[in-house]
């Protein structure tokens, strides 16, 4: 699932939590997103920054759900996952036995995933973290290769805990 599709299907609470975190913890990235998304619609940079936060969030959600904004949506989701959910990323890839740089960034992805280890890793994530964040991460992880992994796709399609379909 592409990043813009994630935003199309994500629940409002997850998107609001995501945007709140970006606005407060990654202010420069948040402002750059407003500026770049505004440029896609030929808006002055001040136009959105002067709007109330609720209007900014609604507009950002709408824009990040738009296919031409896919690169920006990808970047924002990656920043959010790597900086806010580093512990989740690390615990997942360690449970799968994938080597990483200590911060959850993987250089070499495996060709296949062990179905039993994957199920254990997914169960652990849903037990420890919000379902919306886990769902986004699993979809983004699946996007790390061109074809993804059939074992993970089966979970994304069939696990009722996955909130984004």
| Residue at 68 is within a domain | yes
Look at the pTM and tell me if it is higher than 0.75.
yes
| Residue at 30 is within a domain | yes
Distances (CA, A) of 92 to 55, 77, 88, 121, 126: 35, 17, 6, 6, 11
Range of the domain at 144: 86-158
71-114 pLDDT tens trace: 999 999 999 999 999 999 999 999 998 888 887 778 888 888 99
Q: Which of 83, 109, 140 is the last residue of a domain?
A: 83
What's the token pair of residue 92?
Answer: 């997942």
4-30 pLDDT tens trace: 999 999 888 889 999 999 999 999 999
Q: Which is nearest to 10 in space by CA: 57, 47, 75, 55?
A: 57
User: In angstroms, rounded to a whole number, what is the distance separating the alpha carbons of residues 102 and 1?
Assistant: 27
22 in Cβ contact with 76 (< 8 Å): yes
CB atoms within 10 A of CB 111: 6
């Amino acid at each position: 699932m592409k990043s813009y599709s994630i935003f199309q299907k994500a629940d409002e609470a997850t998107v609001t939590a995501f945007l709140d975190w970006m606005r407060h913890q990654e202010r420069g990235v948040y402002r750059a997103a407003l500026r770049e998304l505004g440029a896609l619609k030929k808006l002055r940079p001040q136009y959105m920054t002067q709007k109330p936060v609720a209007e900014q969030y609604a507009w950002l959600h709408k824009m990040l759900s738009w296919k031409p904004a896919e690169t920006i949506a990808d970047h924002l989701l990656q920043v959010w996952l790597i900086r806010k959910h580093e512990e989740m990323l690390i615990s997942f890839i360690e449970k799968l036995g994938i080597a990483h740089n200590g911060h959850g960034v993987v250089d070499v992805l495996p060709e296949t995933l062990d179905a039993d280890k994957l199920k254990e890793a997914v169960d652990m994530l849903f037990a420890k973290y919000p379902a919306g964040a886990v769902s986004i991460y699993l979809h983004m992880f699946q996007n790390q290769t061109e074809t993804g992994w059939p074992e993970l796709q089966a979970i994304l399609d069939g696990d009722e805990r996955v909130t984004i379909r």
